[in-house]
Amino acid sequence: MDDFLEIAGKKIKNRLFIGTGKFSSYKVMQEALEAASCQVATVALRRVDSDSKTENILDFIPKNCQIMINTSGARTAEEAVRIARLAKAVGAGNWIKIEVIRDNKYLLPDNLETLKTVEILAKNDFVVFPYMSPDLSIARKMVDVGASAVMPLGSPIGSNRGIKTLELVEIMINEIKIPVIVDAGLGSPSQACECMELGCAAVLVNTAIAVSSDPASMAEAFSKAVAAGRLAYLSGIPQSGKIASASSPLTGFLREK
């Protein structure tokens, strides 16, 4: 099936985006990215060191994989903008996942500071993907100021609880015209599949892959689940009902007396 997610002129076939934190080594991370045939990977700027004499994380990202720098550690729009500009300056590209987080306990994003960041970076030719708490009105404003996609959380970062924000995410999918990519909290391939069946454009997964006992196999499992969920969505999932509906006729095959 000729089905691509197109963002900023780039056609993406694999709708599983993978985060690069928490892996036991860059080599293990590379194996997971390759096993999933990953086309988009997020990287924290602090892990990028182009002057390193030893290992540089960018050397372990597959060549056909789009790097998306995240602004992890930013607590204000000003800090996030500075991180994005540094990333571009060191050659990491202009795809930016915006993370602005002040809450240290639940790591929930600051939507207002994130919106400010989107507006500034979009005006300066960045391709921006804001990580946000699902809120339709904020999402619409992010669309208006130039977001390329929005990334609502499924549940708190690293919690592996799945998509606890399902109804809010579904509203966003139905009401805004840019891709909705669920990010954070997905703990199993079935949860990723559920997001895709709902109509999400993609999902981003990190912890569930990186901390598994076999990250490469888990990455492959997530990739296949995302593909299955997408195919199911495109095929038209039947609505559920409250009463039975027979698969075969119940009359007409026995002669009534």
- What residues are labeled active site? 97
CA distances to 59, 179, 187 from 76, rounded to whole Å, are 30, 25, 28
**Which residue, chain included where needed, has tokens 């891709």?**
179
Phi then psi dihedrals of residue 208, to 5 deg: -60, -30
Of 158, 163, 156, the closest CA to residue 180 belongs to: 163
* Rounded distance between C-alpha atoms, residue 105 and residue 94, angstroms: 30
Evaluate whether 205 touches 186 at the Cβ level (below 8 Å). Answer: yes
Point out which residues pair with 95 in neighbouring strands: 127
99 and 118 Cβ atoms separated by less than 8 Å: no
Phi then psi for residue 203, to 5 deg, are -135, 155
Residue 82 vs residues 56, 115, 117, 131, 135: alpha-carbon distances, Å: 21, 15, 10, 17, 26
- Phi, psi (deg, nearest 5) at residue 244: -75, 150
The span from the CA of 118 to the CA of 27, in Å, is 33
CA 182 to each of CA 90, 172, 242: distance values in angstroms, whole numbers, following the listed order = 28, 11, 29
